Amino acid sequence: MPNPFSLSALLRPRPADGHKGTFGHGLLIAGKYGMAGAAVLASRAALRSGLGKVTAYVPQRLLDVLQVSVPEAIVLCTDDAPTHFAVATAVTTYDAVAIGPGIGTDASTGAALAEQLLRIGTDHKPLVLDADALNLIAQHPSLLSSVPESAILTPHRGEFARLLSAAGVEAADEAAVQRAAFDFAQRHRVILVLKGHPTRIYAPQIAGTAVGICPWGGSGLATAGSGDVLTGVLLGLLAQGYAPYDAARLGVGLHALAGDAATTDLGAHSVMASDIIAHLPDAFRSLTV
């Protein structure tokens, strides 16, 4: 089987005559009051991944934070949700959607997620689910039936354990976790990015236990907000038209390469999530030289 992390062949050339409409428009649903950073990091990462436009759908009280911190982003909010995601929004005009970083697990957020998933499914939009979106699904397992086929789910080990527990599945050791991850991807027809060292990608159309094991990414990635950065990168790639499995491989690889570049510059002890974003250009350049 070819190495699924041979990324240079996946990366598309960027046409010289392109414009922001050429490179997609992503919708990011992220943040709650006290967790604005998740929305900021994911928005910046999406734009650094080559996305033409990103709209951050955030609670009203985060409007000023996003406008100042990410002036390149469009910011959308509603007076009916001042502190947290509580009202689903239209997705028709977007090329891809990401949901989860920092949204919290309020009951009204769970209800909004349920409605949002139905809208995404109706409009057939590529989707990334991360962080609290996954925690809400673990709390309400019936939501899995509304997750569209080929959605990318990006749990870390704790989030995946909660998803398994909600399904009544126990995974006592590493081999059991890997089997459970493969079964989960097959059963729900999703692409599962199981974050860790190493990060593994499981996809329903590929036989075998693990679709790919990312060969890059060390302890520099083990920092608050790193997962939000990955979500932004994946959103950016999906909105640019990459197929979900290709976006997952390319996104995980770029994120890890950027983390390694940041570690080289700063040392593993000192890397922050914003440093990973700052080194995404190095990751892209490493695939084009």
Q: Read off the pLDDT of each residue in 174-200 and give the average, rounded to a whole number.
A: 93
Query: CB-based contacts of 183: which residues, under 8 Å, 6+ apart?
Result: none
pLDDT at 68 over 50: yes
Structure tokens of 285?
């350049």
pLDDT at 134 over 90: yes
**Residue 209 pLDDT class (50, 70, 90 cuts):** very low
Choice among 72-81, 82-91, 165-174, 237-246 with the minimum mean pLDDT:
165-174
**Residue 1 pLDDT class (50, 70, 90 cuts):** very low
Choice among 68-72, 100-104, 219-223, 228-232 with the minimum mean pLDDT:
219-223
pLDDT at 5: 65
pLDDT at 212 over 90: no
pLDDT at 2 over 60: no
Alpha-carbon distance of 183 to 5, in angstroms, equals 22
Structure tokens of 13?
């050339």
Alpha-carbon distance of 119 to 259, in angstroms, equals 34
Residue whose C-alpha is closest to residue 104's, from 79, 130, 133: 133
Helices of type H across 169-288: 174-188, 226-239, 244-266, 273-278, 280-288
3-state helix, strand, coil in the chain (%, to 5): 45, 10, 40
Contact call for residues 56 and 75 (beta carbons, < 8 A):
yes
Q: Read off the pLDDT of each residue in 239-249 and give the average, rounded to a whole number.
A: 96
Q: Which CATH superfamily is domain 25-288 in?
A: Ribokinase (3.40.1190.20)
Q: How many residues does the chain have?
A: 289
* Residue reference for tokens 């009544």: 168
Alpha-carbon distance of 168 to 178, in angstroms, equals 16
Structure tokens of 131?
């962080």
* Average of per-residue pLDDT values in the chain: 94
**Residue 3 pLDDT class (50, 70, 90 cuts):** very low
pLDDT at 234: 98
**Residue 168 pLDDT class (50, 70, 90 cuts):** confident
Q: Read off the pLDDT of each residue in 61-65 and give the average, rounded to a whole number.
A: 97
pLDDT at 204: 84
pLDDT at 33 over 80: yes
Type of residue found at 199: T
Pairing, β 127-129 against β 200-202: unpaired
* Cis peptide bond upstream of 198, omega within 30: yes
Q: Read off the pLDDT of each residue in 7-12 and give the average, rounded to a whole number.
A: 91
Burial readout 81-93 (b: 16 or more C-beta within 10 A, e: otherwise): beebbbbbbebee
Alpha-carbon distance of 89 to 39, in angstroms, equals 16
Q: Read off the pLDDT of each residue in 18-38 and give the average, rounded to a whole number.
A: 96
Q: Read off the pLDDT of each residue in 41-68 and give the average, rounded to a whole number.
A: 98
Q: Read off the pLDDT of each residue in 116-144 and give the average, rounded to a whole number.
A: 98
Contact call for residues 140 and 181 (beta carbons, < 8 A):
no
Q: Read off the pLDDT of each residue in 154-160 and give the average, rounded to a whole number.
A: 96
Q: Read off the pLDDT of each residue in 5-11 and give the average, rounded to a whole number.
A: 85
Contact call for residues 159 and 193 (beta carbons, < 8 A):
no
pLDDT at 278 over 60: yes
Choice among 94-98, 261-265, 285-289 with the minimum mean pLDDT:
285-289
